[in-house]
Structure 1
Amino acid sequence: MDSIIVTGGSSLNGQIPIAGAKNAALALMPATLLSEEPLTLTNVPRLSDIKTMTALLESLGVEVTSLQGGKVQVLSSHAMTSTRADYEIVRKMRASNLVLGPLLARHHEAIVSLPGGCAIGARPMDIHIDALELMGAQIELRDGYLHAKAPGGLKGARVPLRFASVGATENVLMAATLAKGTTVIENAAREPEIVDLARCLRAMGAQIAGEGTSTIEVQGVDRLGAATHPVVTDRIELGTYMLAPVFCGGEVECLGGKLELVTAFVEKLDAAGVDVTETDAGLKVKLRGDRPRAVDVVTEPFPGFPTDLQAQMMAMLCLADGTSVLEERIFENRFMHAPELVRMGANIEVQGGYAKVHGVDRLKGAPVMATDLRASVSLILAGLAAEGETRVNRVYHLDRGYENVEQKLSAVGAKIERVRDA
């Protein structure tokens, strides 16, 4: 198992290229199941989660061709052999459930294992199930698998989501493209990844309006065709690397970054004393003073502050002047990184969905353990500012969501290396 070793104290200067969005790509790839014609995705991130989704699609008979070192994926579902998504693959990643809607829409049946992923709290499938049942699906849970059928195909319906779930919105959006009639998704998620999926589906021939708002309307069509689509910039990787120079000084330009992807995040950075400047190539970031100021943060669905940047923000606020309060409203159990930051000298009190962070003058390097994807990178960021050496163990989580972390940070001056544990 690999570990990451970070030696703090080096300022960061230069440019960091931001990859395509993992969460967008994981929804775009199953869209190939909706058509017999090929779907070509460009700007695909090279991550272990992408490999897992590739393996899942290939198990269904999808042909996946990787080009340009994996940055381009050509997917074709013209000769599918199965509509069953097995536990051995699905257990590795939550996004595996996104094959359910497309399989029901085109093949009128699916058997999909309940999914796995990071242990950051309950992310129930009942929102997906309730929505698809409103469209005429018959779904029952047996032996850990969802057995779904749609005799005669899915039908358009009014689908109110009780929570603005990104995954449920994506599943219903894909399913609705081939449903008979009009589907209206109410309380839809508004994330950029939803907008990106809608644009891709529209390029394939879908009739969609309202993406990026809380109401999406889809007029079903008989078939979808071929398309080529670039994956949107990863706003979570963008936000993560925007924080890097705040920890240890310097100025970093995040290539491909766009303000509209991280508006709420940038508002908090500004309040904390961080300058963010839009350039022709991306976003340039620099701390205005010697240390950031304390700010309060509440995680919310887009366009609010992203839960996937909460751990990284907490790590920064450990060094802020004053006391900050973070409230996690999206996932329970998402403060598991707090005890690891405390091992590095942070002063954090956690109670339920709240964390009070009292800023300290310095952090000290220590052996720490990554508990989930975003927690792992928050510990690496903390290590950039810490005195001495920080060893982040169990970084297999990291590889699910960040490509070439060591190379990207090393290129701007960080002292970081990956080592193979004995």
Structure 2
Amino acid sequence: MSEKQASLSPHYLVTGGQPLHGEVTLSGAKNAVTKMVIASLLTSDTCTLRNIPILGDLELTVKLCQEFGSQVELDREKHTLSIKTTDIKDYHVSTTVGGLNRICVMTIGPLLHRCGEAVIPMPGGDRIGPRPINFHIQGLQQMGAHIIEKDGYYHCRAPERLHGATISLPFPSVMATENLLITASLAKGVTIIENAANEPEIVDLVKMLQKMGAIIEFKVDRRIVIEGVESLHGASHTLLSDRNEAVSLAIATYLTRGDVYLRHAQQDTLLSFLNTLLKMHLRFEVDDEGIRFIGDSNVSPAISLETDVHPGFMTDWQQPFTVLLTQSEGMSVIHETIYEDRFGYTSALTRMGAHVGLYPKCLGEVPCRFREQQHMHSCVVSGPTPLVATRLDIPDIRAGCSYILAALCAEGTSEVYGIEHIERGYEHLDVKLRSLGAYIEKVS
């Protein structure tokens, strides 16, 4: 696409320098809703989800399920979704929907349980480095699935009912843990997932599965034990709030020296983020209904930060936090231990005036898979540096949000393109920012 053609595509005009004030209500968790919709495929009964976020990833997942034969009722105003899959009409996932993100790999288990077969395309997703699904495939194979790769598709069969297994994940992958949880719920016998992820969204998925009749227990040392049952039934579930949206809006508040109350922000899902704010002498107030974030004219000190699996500092918080560190006093160090290629967005920050350097060495203490592999997975940020507006092209969801945050505190008006990434992962982020006083205009 030429630059002229790109300039005609939908984009945001963001003028910086306007403090954010007021209150917004957080949406339901993007990283939970799609997995719960997939989990509904385990039963022929109706499942109802409340507090759902209305965003692109959910739309794709709904289309995916409708191709299988699901009946879906979506109430956008009430943020509820009801889904009933009486029969699976087709166990093939089309590239039209399945190739656009990684959710299709989650359908293998439900399709094998209900049809004995599944055919899915090689999954897509954000450009943040290789994200192989070998953890998923190997775990499913241990449970009795026969899977071969052919012509860009995974062809999966289960001649007999899938069975329990002890599966040791090489890394506590969130999506692999969720996939194995969903599949193991109906497998014959006991499944033990060792080195499992235990993010809040996973706990919320387990709550839904338990309401459907699944028997799942969290054990010490990252072990999850699932006792497979013969069948599951329908259930209703209210999603937890989106902690990524909470972090993004909180950082926007500090960058613009504003004062914003986030209704439904949940302290227990944000502990490591809030601890980091305290280290930077940034103010917030927690009550039973949400969290108030309070910016002021003081310049926060630089810090050292490492991403880690939960309960550590979440990798999705790294990009917006890097923007915040451009406005801190001194030299900050960020060590990314989850993805090896998640600092590509910093080139745009450099063009805006930030002082950012990338390094292949592990600049931290958290055990890192990328040691001695020459991946640029450590970042040094020197500040404070004033940022200036520029044209920004969003490569993925979290980087896109960081671009908007940078534009909110930059001098001048930035043009932000690739906003489909934002709308895939955030519900009306531009609308919420405008309600708080931001100068952000969508140009279609």
1:104-143 maps to which residues of 2 (within 5 A)?
Answer: 104-143=112-151
Residue 371 of structure 1 is aligned with which of 395, 400, 406? 395
User: The residue matched to 1:236 in structure 2 has which SS?
Assistant: helix
Residue 221 of structure 1 is aligned with which of 223, 229, 235? 229
User: The residue matched to 1:84 in structure 2 has which SS?
Assistant: coil
Q: Which moved more, 1:92-101 or 1:200-209?
A: 92-101
Distance 2:221 2:245 in 1: 24
CA offsets 1:51-76 (integer angstroms, 9 cap, x no match): 11111111111111112437111111
Matched, 1:171 2:171: no
Distance 2:223 2:114 in 1: 24
User: The residue matched to 1:85 in structure 2 has which SS?
Assistant: coil
Asked if the contact 1:248–1:384 (Cα under 8 Å) also holds between the matched residues in 2, the reply is: yes
The number of aligned residues is: 420
Letter in 1 for 2:96: E
Matched, 1:96 2:104: yes
Residue 322 of structure 2 is aligned with which of 308, 311, 314? 314
Change in CA separation of 1:175 and 1:117 when aligned onto 2, cut-off 3 Å: same
CA offsets 1:21-66 (integer angstroms, 9 cap, x no match): 1110011000111001011111110001111111111111111111
RMSD: 1.4
User: The residue matched to 2:420 in structure 1 has which SS?
Assistant: coil
Asked if the contact 1:190–1:212 (Cα under 8 Å) also holds between the matched residues in 2, the reply is: no
Question: How much has 1:413 moved relative to structure 2?
Answer: 1.3
Change in CA separation of 1:70 and 1:106 when aligned onto 2, cut-off 3 Å: farther
Equivalent residue, structure 2, for 1:53: 61
Asked if the contact 1:157–1:182 (Cα under 8 Å) also holds between the matched residues in 2, the reply is: yes
Residue 201 of structure 2 is aligned with which of 184, 193, 198? 193
User: The residue matched to 2:248 in structure 1 has which SS?
Assistant: helix
Distance 1:290 1:2 in 2: 36
Write out the 4+ residue segments of structure 1 that deviate beyond 3 Å after TM superposition. none
Question: What TM-score does the superposition give when structure 2 sets the normalisation length?
Answer: 0.92
CA offsets 1:92-145 (integer angstroms, 9 cap, x no match): 112222111222233322111111011111111110011111111111111111
Residue 360 of structure 1 is aligned with which of 370, 384, 389? 384
Equivalent residue, structure 1, for 2:49: 41
Equivalent residue, structure 1, for 2:274: 266
Asked if the contact 1:329–1:353 (Cα under 8 Å) also holds between the matched residues in 2, the reply is: yes
Distance 2:218 2:195 in 1: 12
Percent same amino acid among aligned pairs?
Answer: 36
- Which consecutive residues of structure 1, in runs of 5 or more, have no partner in the other structure? none
Letter in 2 for 1:143: D
Question: What TM-score does the superposition give when structure 1 sets the normalisation length?
Answer: 0.97
Matched, 1:396 2:413: no
Equivalent residue, structure 2, for 1:184: 192
User: The residue matched to 2:303 in structure 1 has which SS?
Assistant: coil
- Which consecutive residues of structure 2, in runs of 5 or more, have no partner in the other structure? 1-8, 360-375
Residue 411 of structure 2 is aligned with which of 380, 387, 392? 387
Matched, 1:76 2:84: yes
Distance 1:196 1:211 in 2: 16
Change in CA separation of 1:385 and 1:193 when aligned onto 2, cut-off 3 Å: same
Equivalent residue, structure 1, for 2:168: 160
User: The residue matched to 1:368 in structure 2 has which SS?
Assistant: strand
Residue 301 of structure 2 is aligned with which of 293, 302, 321? 293
